[in-house]
Amino acid sequence: MKILIKNIKELVQIEQSPGGLKRGRSMGILATLKDAWLSIENDLITGFGEMKYFPGISDWTNLEVIDATGKMVFPCWCDSHTHLVYAGSRELEFVDRINGLSYEEIAGRGGGILNSAKQLQAATEEELIQSALNRLNEIKCFGTGAVEIKSGYGLTIASELKMLRVIKKLKEISPLTIQATFLGAHAIPPEYKGQKEKYISIITNEMLPAIAEEKLADFCDVFCEKNYFSKDDTIKILEVAAKYGIKGKIHAEQLSHSGGIEAGVQCGAISVDHLEFASENDIELLKNSNTIPTILPGAQFFLGLQIPPARKMIDAGLPLAISSDYNPGSCPSGNMNFMISLACINYKITPEEAINAATINSAFAMGLGNSHGSICVGKKANIFITKEVSSYGFLPYSFSNNLVERVILNGEIPGRI
């Protein structure tokens, strides 16, 4: 299968060869080509350039030609932080919050993550696959082509394995590229109330070995937060994960300053995510590390949390990734265009910075930077074509509108659902 897209108004986020993360000032630069063409063969990008230098077509067999006059082409969004395998929903807690309860108060009453865990434990693998496939299809329509999905609503060995096996199945049948993260340390299950150490030893001595044996996780995450897992717990868990060759990712400084960034830097985590309570010292620590700060503007918006120092991080020369956190409790949406709008509006991030954060940097934040996140020959043909738009800044400007007209994943290799 070959695809040629011609007359592209602007081809966004091009790279002549696979580059690295965008940091600091370079986040403000978005390389584009106006009046361009792009070719795809099988699941890869094979070429692009300006229409005036279009080399012509020598072989028309199996070729679909798309005329993109007035439209732009982007690499698909990369969403490096989601919990999109879940059962049920939590709109009753949403109403509780409207009536004045905080996320912490709801969790203290057995709601929150434990509420989702109860619902997930009762669901079959088949039910979880079906509902997650619907969500994957939904985010695909919003332009997402690669996504990380966490476990963490299982909280028992059987249910954590069930979640990770569901994610493994999704990797096989979905056209999106999927990375799996083990998040057994998402909350202390009720049966271990007051016995956190015991639950941590189940995570390190039983869950991680079983997960490594079945190769079910690309990353291991910890919710480093007051009343959940401390900085020391986080380090302990990630050190065991590292022994199995599984890199860390951390829910850090979301509801309070809990030392998640320090833990992440110490353990060489690939990313630290949320960051509402990140300090000046955390920014200094991140400067001397390869850990990617990742903001989740949808969760911060939905929970009404304070603004993370995202602007300061870019100004300090750091790379920044943007993801959705799609989950039933703190962000029931995986619309990446809305996430970049929120970052621009609420954090004073420019469209160029936000697009870099949601494509190449978020690809790196889930270990896919060499194959995803930019228009580059040899990278995965995961791209979207917009409706007719005036400029790339029109996307974050048009918050909540879906300007994605067509999504091509893996060059549209048939057989995936």
Tell me which DSSP letter residue 26 carries.
G
Place of tokens 């590229």: 177
Which stretch, 36-44, 103-111, 323-331, 374-382, contacts Fe ion (CB under 5 A)?
Answer: 323-331
- Our CB check for ligand NIG shows the closer of 112 and 297 to be 112
Q: How many CB atoms lie within 10 A of CB 205?
A: 11
Residue 112 interacting partner from ligand NIG, Fe ion, none (CB closer than 5 to 8 Å by kind): ligand NIG
CB of 324 to ligand NIG, least distance (A): 10
Of residues 300 through 319, those in contact with Fe ion by CB under 5 A are: none
Q: Which residues of 102-125 are buried (b: 16+ CB within 10 A; e: fewer)?
A: ebeebbeeebbbbbbbebbbebee
Residue 183 binds which entry of Fe ion, ligand NIG, none, with Cβ cut-offs from 5 to 8 Å by kind?
none
218 near Fe ion, judged by CB under 5 A: no
Q: Alpha carbon of 103 to those of 97, 119, 209, 304, 333: distances in Å? A: 7, 18, 32, 10, 17
Nearer to Fe ion, 21 or 295 (CB): 295
**Interface positions with ligand NIG (CB under 6 A):** 83, 112-113, 116, 223, 251, 254, 299, 325, 327-330
Which of the ranges 238-246, 305-313, 321-329, 394-402 carries the binding residues for Fe ion, by CB under 5 A?
A: 321-329
Query: Which one, 260 or 319, has the nearer CB to ligand NIG?
Result: 260
Residue 250 near which of Fe ion, ligand NIG, none (CB within 5-8 Å, type-dependent): none
Verify binding: residue 352, Fe ion, rule CB under 5 A: no
DSSP 273-337: EE-TT--HHHHHHHHTS-PEEEE-HHHHHHHTPPPP-HHHHHHTT-B-EE----BTTTB----HH
Residue 282 as a binder of Fe ion (CB under 5 A): the answer is no
List the one residue out of 168, 181, 160 whose CA is nearest residue 241: 181
- Which of 162/251 has CB closer to ligand NIG? 251
Q: Which is nearer to ligand NIG, 113 or 385 (CB)?
A: 113
Distance CA 253, CA 378 (A): 37
Residue in 391, 403, 409, 313 with CA at minimum distance from that of residue 34: 391
User: How far apart are CB 220 and Fe ion at their closest, in Å?
Assistant: 14
What gap in Å lies between CA 278 and CA 294, rounded to an integer? Answer: 11
Partner touching 334 among Fe ion, ligand NIG, none, CB below 5 to 8 Å by kind: none
Of residues 233 and 325, the one with the C-beta less far from Fe ion = 325
State which of positions 128-157 bind Fe ion (CB under 5 A). Answer: none
Tell me: does residue 225 bind Fe ion (CB under 5 A).
no
One of 79, 325, 352, 353 touching Fe ion (CB under 5 A): 325
Comparison of 241 and 375: residue with beta carbon closer to ligand NIG: 241
Q: Taking the complex as a whole, how short is the minimal distance between the CB of residue 109 and ligand NIG, in angstroms?
A: 13
Contacts of 369 (CB under 8 A, 6+ apart): 18, 20, 21, 360, 363
**What value does the CA radius of gyration of the chain take, rounded to a whole number of Å?**
21
Enter the DSSP assignment of 95. H
Longest dimension (CA), the chain: 70
**Smallest distance from the beta carbon of 90 to ligand NIG, in angstroms?**
7
48, containing H or E segment: strand 44-50
Alpha carbons 399 and 72: distance in angstroms, whole number:
17
Q: Alpha-carbon distance 28 to 344, whole Å? A: 12
Comparing CB distances to ligand NIG, the nearer of 48 and 103 is: 103
Residue nearest ligand NIG, CB atom distance: 329
Applying CB under 5 A, does 353 fall inside the site for Fe ion?
A: no
In whole angstroms, the minimum distance from the beta carbon of 190 to ligand NIG comes to: 15
- In the complex, least distance from residue 209 CB atom to Fe ion, rounded to whole angstroms: 24
Give the Cα separation of 366 and 148 in Å (integer).
7
Q: Nearer to ligand NIG by C-beta: 115 or 337?
A: 115
Q: Interface residues with Fe ion (CB under 5 A)?
A: 325
